[in-house]
Amino acid sequence: MTLRTMGRFLPIVQWLPRYRRADLSADTLAGLIVAIMLVPQGMAYALLAGMPPETGLYASIVPLILYGLLGSSRALAVGPVAIVSLMVASAVGGLAETGSDAYLAAALLLALLSGVLLIAMGAARLGFLVNFISHPVISGFISAAALVIALSQLKYLLGLDIPRSHLITDTLAFAVRHVGDINWVTAAISVAAIALLVYWGPVTNAVLGRMGIGQTTCVAVSRASPLAAVLVSTVVVWAFRFDLSVGVRIVGDIPAGLPPLTMPPFDSALWLDLLPAAALITIVGFLESVSIAKALASKRRQKIDANQELVALGVANLGAAFTGAYPVAGGFGRSMVNFTAGAVTPIASIVTAILIALSILVFTPLFYFLPTAVLSAVIVVAVARLVDVATLRHAWVYNKADAASLIATFFAVLSLGVEIGIVTGIGLSLVLYLYRTSKPHVAIVGRVGSSEHFRNVLRHQVRTCPHVLAMRIDESLYFANTNYLEDYLLAKVADDRRIKHVVLICSAINFIDTSALESLFRVISELKDAGVTLHLAEVKGPVMDRLKKTELLDHLLPGKVFLSTHEAMTDLDCV
Amino acid sequence: MTLRTMGRFLPIVQWLPRYRRADLSADTLAGLIVAIMLVPQGMAYALLAGMPPETGLYASIVPLILYGLLGSSRALAVGPVAIVSLMVASAVGGLAETGSDAYLAAALLLALLSGVLLIAMGAARLGFLVNFISHPVISGFISAAALVIALSQLKYLLGLDIPRSHLITDTLAFAVRHVGDINWVTAAISVAAIALLVYWGPVTNAVLGRMGIGQTTCVAVSRASPLAAVLVSTVVVWAFRFDLSVGVRIVGDIPAGLPPLTMPPFDSALWLDLLPAAALITIVGFLESVSIAKALASKRRQKIDANQELVALGVANLGAAFTGAYPVAGGFGRSMVNFTAGAVTPIASIVTAILIALSILVFTPLFYFLPTAVLSAVIVVAVARLVDVATLRHAWVYNKADAASLIATFFAVLSLGVEIGIVTGIGLSLVLYLYRTSKPHVAIVGRVGSSEHFRNVLRHQVRTCPHVLAMRIDESLYFANTNYLEDYLLAKVADDRRIKHVVLICSAINFIDTSALESLFRVISELKDAGVTLHLAEVKGPVMDRLKKTELLDHLLPGKVFLSTHEAMTDLDCV
């Protein structure tokens, strides 16, 4: 194995030999900033996934190191992320009681399955599969998931025991009906925490900037808003013992110590139950990770190898499965912070992992009085930015079909749940695409003045001849639109009995599949039966190469293939 | 309602007022010839569907009259057909014992459901849906179905009790293992019947032709091969009483009398069970009918209204459901015979229906001694012609992906059964299509000599400039290929740091969807980050109209939109 091929499968071989001292300080700083952000986020996302808070920290240690060794992205920050956490809760919630041993075991198994699937997809080079999910579907899915996530936190934010439901209307209705049971101290803490999370960044930036503090410190401090919310609220709850006096829910004991070695359960029935959810978590997690990785890589003219990413994320998830965590992916906000804080290599992620391991060894007693409402506030503020109205607005103006698939995905996720919702959206977007190509744009063209140019008779002043129909079809010919072309042509010919020649202008035809080829054979025969000759014009090179392998050109006779429409029309006495 | 709109929904209004005496004699003759063919075929297909023989005749009476009143095709001959009969056997066989009352009731229900679905699709104008089934999938499906049908008749042909199986290997293995149990007289009758069916047409045609008999009589006699086989074999079995002496299975009593009025069962669980099969029967039956109707109509420059066909076939199936029959469709061979025998209007079908009604009133006692092996022979000879190797051969030469979907459909039907088989084939062909468009042909182009023409650098001797990359993408841009383009472009730019300008030639781009638009925004930013400017050239009118609704052209700046590649290259100092 050469160094080059090794570098492909083990990217660390590429960058480690060239690693410099300056890189290490940049990476350490970036790793520190991400760690400050990730400690409260990790616990919060664990809560969202229905897992104990420490599992979110476990998910931020070994998976980060493994991804760092294998990932092709220099700046992607892996760990627990909001949407995957929601999908874990949705997949496991139906099978076991939240927080039970069975629940934790199922989450481990999800990570294992997801890891295996990712590695298998990477080995089979199936990274391209995510291309079949359109942006409007992703946008609708993420917006709806963000809404579902935010509402799932209402019970913690209000200190209200809202029963689990996948319908947001049920959740809201319950909250309104039981408004009297709200724990108002908890609600006040939530509001204060959200305000602090939202305004901390701008305010500290402005104040520190005015004090002439350096850019890097500004970034570090402004990104510490979750940490600040955690510290302030912990002190307040501890000082007033709100947990005892008014029943504010707190995090309580978090076991100190490094992640445990765990073994996912080997229960084939459970495997089958979780497989569909694992497949979706795999796809959504990969999609999120690879889009961020690509965006960041292109800023530095680096490349991302999608299949290597699959393997790296797969191994990271296996790491999660065997160290008491749950499925991980690349996080958007976190990776942006890592990148802007100056991360040069995956060493930054490894620094983050070490710092989180230290904090779990040393600092967990400090989180005893942390109110869960603050973790929920961290989640809500993080996902609020995921609600994406801009894409809908743009799609609505640009292409209604795309807007429709966005809206359909959004409501499908809200009404049918995350899994069925995204599958519905993907299916619908494919059907809409096929539907569009099944009714291609067809233009009857005529000569512009006495030039050699031919344009749409509906858009331009052009000259035509009654005995020649010249039409251009603006789509490749394949099974879904071949009947349309056939019907269109035969209807035109049936309507106007003066037509003796049809010239099919093929300048926009990039491909003709077997169904369309058969259809052309049939159209030629049917037109001949009706006393009409078909001719082709402006056939592209690759299309012509394929047609020459068939008997179509013989079957076309006396019809001809012309290089240009002008040549065709001149030959057919239409000048 | 004007006569014109009435004519659309009730085509009989169009042709009946213009009906002439000459038309009646032509229609009567065609109707007679089809009836001669249909009596044995109807009983044979009923046998294939697992139904009593008379139900095949019932299916050839009321449905034909209803279709005649509503259909937009002048020559389509509706009735029991081979593949739909097989699908009925496959759908109902799992639910009830062949020949039981529950079996007959389920078949009635299938006809009812199929009728309702057809009418609903017609009302919703969903006739275009069949376009999503590619010809290779249809070809693979029909070939496999023909094979399944032929093998399902082995038990009657050999007089051997072969247990029902959807695996043809099981059927063959059983026949080989029990070769000693074969009823050799039955097998001899089968071989003789097949030989008669195959050679009757050519031989009678030659003999009658030499005798100077008219064309129409020749057609009528040559198409009577099933009737001849039926008559000869009946006489032989009756003369030697093979039914008693060697246990040749015979048709036995067929109740004389017109079709009974029947009521499909109203059992919601059964409805749900049968709905998927009914949907597939609907689609396959419609597909078969409409392709024949179109082929025949175009020969006379007539038009077929696919949505009207849906309604007409739907009503015909409702007729089948309420008159003791089972699902019907337009038959290929039968319609060709009807057409070539000179049918001018649906009166021909009504004549056929009347003759079949007469034969069921009068002639059924004559069929008592008819061996079922001869009906099976009729089926085998009819479906043998459906096995289609030509399409596979053509597809193999022309486009391997199409050949793959044909072969996959063929083996899926043989191994998974007709329903799952065709669904698998359809899904696979869509995925293959999307896969192809997801990796579009991209050409880097250069200037031919000092002309204004630009061609692929890999195919032609052309001149390029190191600071300008001119590339043409030969596909519309949509979500499945937008990542490909993005990756391709960024990789090219990352590989060659001399590139300062990229010219994207859009001559083959017929559409840019929202995902691709976002991707273009992103590519422009990413190229800018890398110090490269993107330009567009040869953007089509409709595409440009849409782009103008967005901010893309502003975002492109300082990149420009050029009318031609020549103009772009000249402006960028690449001459």
Of B133, B301, B483, the CB nearest to A131: B483
Beta bridge partners of B533: B501
Inter-chain contact A479–B513, Cβ cutoff 8 Å?
A: no
Q: What secondary structure does DSSP assign to B411-443, as a single string?
A: HHHHHH-HHHHHHHHHHHHHHHHHHHHHS--EE
* Interface contact B398, partner A, CB < 8 A: yes
Q: Specify burial of residue B521 (Cβ count, 10 A radius: 0-12, 13-18, 19+).
A: middle
Beta bridge partners of A561: A536
Per-residue buried b or exposed e for B182-216, using 16+ beta carbons within 10 Å of the residue's own CB: ebebbeebbebbbebbeebbeebbeebeeeeeeee
Inter-chain contact A295–B510, Cβ cutoff 8 Å?
A: no
Structure tokens at A102: 């069975």
Q: What secondary structure does DSSP assign to A165-186, as a single string?
A: -S-HHHHHHHHHHTGGG--HHH
Contacts of A376 (CB under 8 A, 6+ apart): A44, A47, A153, A156, A157, A190
How far is it, in rounded angstroms, from Cα B351 to Cα B342? 13
DSSP-H helix ranges across B223-267: 225-240, 242-245
Of B131, B294, B438, the CB nearest to A438: B131
Q: Return the residue of B nearest to A303 by Cα.
A: B491
Inter-chain contact B438–A128, Cβ cutoff 8 Å?
A: yes
Inter-chain contact A481–B429, Cβ cutoff 8 Å?
A: no
A462, A569 contact by CB (below 8 A): no
| CA A37 from centre of chain | 23
Q: At B445, which helix (H) or strand (E)?
A: strand B442-447
Inter-chain contact B394–A430, Cβ cutoff 8 Å?
A: no
DSSP-derived pairing of the beta strands A454-456 and A442-447: antiparallel
* Interface contact B272, partner A, CB < 8 A: no
* Interface contact B400, partner A, CB < 8 A: no
* Interface contact A530, partner B, CB < 8 A: yes
pLDDT at B291: 77
Q: At B299, which helix (H) or strand (E)?
A: helix B268-299
Interior CA angle at A481 toward A480 and A483, to 5°? 100
pLDDT at B137: 87
Phi and psi dihedrals of B318, rounded to 5?
A: -60, -40
Inter-chain contact B303–A483, Cβ cutoff 8 Å?
A: no
Peptide bond into A558 cis (omega under 30): yes
Domain spans in chain A, listed from the N-terminal domain onward: 22-386, 442-571
Inter-chain contact B530–A301, Cβ cutoff 8 Å?
A: yes
How far is it, in rounded angstroms, from Cα B23 to Cα B343? 8
A302 neighbourhood in chain B, CB within 8 Å: 494
Beta bridge partners of B331: none
A39, A57 contact by CB (below 8 A): yes
* Interface contact A513, partner B, CB < 8 A: yes
Q: How many angstroms away from the CA of B221 is the closest CA of chain A?
A: 27
Q: How many residues does chain B have?
A: 575
B135 neighbourhood in chain A, CB within 8 Å: 479, 514-515, 518-519
How far is it, in rounded angstroms, from Cα A252 to Cα A256? 12
A152, A414 contact by CB (below 8 A): no
Taking alpha carbons only, the member of A277, A320, A312, A223 closest to residue A88 is A277
pLDDT in tens, A144-191: 888 888 888 898 899 888 887 767 788 888 888 988 888 999 999 999
pLDDT in tens, A105-137: 999 999 999 999 999 999 888 877 777 888 888
**DSSP label of A465:** B
In this prediction the ipTM stands at 0.73
**DSSP label of B346:** T
Q: Return the residue of B nearest to A396 by Cα.
A: B514
Instruction: Tell me the residues of chain A between 452 and 511 that have a Cβ less than 8 Å away from chain B.
Output: 459, 474-476, 478-484, 486-487, 490-491, 493-494, 497, 507-508, 510-511
Of B136, B476, B515, the CB nearest to A134: B515
Structure tokens at B397: 């030469």
Amino acid at A481: N
| CA B55 from centre of chain | 24
Phi and psi dihedrals of A534, rounded to 5?
A: -95, 135
pLDDT at A301: 64
pLDDT at A400: 87
Inter-chain contact A299–B526, Cβ cutoff 8 Å?
A: yes
pLDDT block averages, 10 residues each, chain B of length 575: 63 79 85 86 90 93 93 89 90 86 93 95 82 84 87 88 77 87 92 93 87 80 84 92 87 85 86 90 88 75 80 95 94 83 87 93 87 88 86 87 91 85 85 84 87 82 90 88 86 87 90 88 88 91 88 91 89 86
A323, A60 contact by CB (below 8 A): no
CATH fold, domain A442-571, is Transcription Regulator spoIIAA (3.30.750)
Inter-chain contact A483–B302, Cβ cutoff 8 Å?
A: no
Inter-chain contact A395–B522, Cβ cutoff 8 Å?
A: no
Contacts of B177 (CB under 8 A, 6+ apart): none
pLDDT at A417: 81
Of B398, B430, B475, the CB nearest to A434: B430
Structure tokens at B29: 């003759």
Q: Return the residue of A nearest to B546 by Cα.
A: A398
Taking alpha carbons only, the member of B498, B356, B481 closest to residue B32 is B356
| CA B110 from centre of chain | 19
A482 neighbourhood in chain B, CB within 8 Å: 131
Of A298, A441, A540, the CB nearest to B529: A298
Taking alpha carbons only, the member of A329, A316, A160 closest to residue A247 is A160
A542 neighbourhood in chain B, CB within 8 Å: 441, 474
Inter-chain contact B398–A549, Cβ cutoff 8 Å?
A: yes
Q: Return the residue of B nearest to A490 by Cα.
A: B298
HEC assignment per residue over B378-411: HHHHHHHCCCCCHHHHHHHHHCHHHHHHHHHHHH
Q: Return the residue of A nearest to B549 by Cα.
A: A398
pLDDT at B486: 86
Q: What secondary structure does DSSP assign to A14-38, as a single string?
A: HHSTT--HHHHHHHHHHHHHHHHHH
Radius of gyration of chain A (CA): 30
pLDDT at A7: 64
Q: Return the residue of A nearest to B530 by Cα.
A: A301
Amino acid at A245: S
How far is it, in rounded angstroms, from Cα B330 to Cα B292? 8
* A487-494 contacts, C-beta under 8 A, 24 or more apart: A487/B294, A488/A442, A489/A523, A489/A527, A490/A523, A490/A526, A490/A527, A490/A530, A490/B298, A490/B301, A490/B303, A491/B303, A493/A469, A493/A527, A493/A530, A493/A532, A493/B301, A494/A530, A494/B301, A494/B302, A494/B303
How far is it, in rounded angstroms, from Cα B296 to Cα B337? 11
How far is it, in rounded angstroms, from Cα A341 to Cα A77? 12
Sign of the Cα pseudo-torsion (B496, B497, B498, B503, in order): positive
Q: Return the residue of B nearest to A306 by Cα.
A: B487
Of B133, B136, B546, the CB nearest to A398: B546
Taking alpha carbons only, the member of B261, B262, B237 closest to residue B251 is B237
Of A128, A135, A514, the CB nearest to B135: A514
* Interface contact B541, partner A, CB < 8 A: yes
Residue of B132, B436, B514, B528 best to disrupt the A interface, most CBs of A under 10 A? B514
How far is it, in rounded angstroms, from Cα A42 to Cα A360? 11
pLDDT in tens, A546-559: 899 888 999 998 99
pLDDT at B319: 95
Taking alpha carbons only, the member of B479, B84, B76 closest to residue B320 is B84
How far is it, in rounded angstroms, from Cα A544 to Cα A510? 10
Taking alpha carbons only, the member of B194, B182, B189 closest to residue B155 is B182
Taking alpha carbons only, the member of A292, A373, A365, A352 closest to residue A39 is A352
pLDDT at B483: 82
Inter-chain contact A441–B391, Cβ cutoff 8 Å?
A: no
pLDDT at A66: 94
Contacts of B322 (CB under 8 A, 6+ apart): B62, B108, B112, B261, B262, B263, B264
pLDDT in tens, B474-495: 888 988 888 888 888 888 888 8
pLDDT in tens, A302-336: 777 888 889 999 999 999 999 999 999 998 778 88
Residue ranges for chain A with pLDDT beneath 50: 1
A344, A26 contact by CB (below 8 A): yes
How far is it, in rounded angstroms, from Cα A536 to Cα A523? 13
Q: How many angstroms away from the CA of B360 is the closest CA of chain A?
A: 39
B508, B481 contact by CB (below 8 A): no
| CA B174 from centre of chain | 32
HEC assignment per residue over B84-136: HHHHHHHHHHCCCCCCCHHHHHHHHHHHHHHHHHHHHHHHCCCHHHHHHCCHH
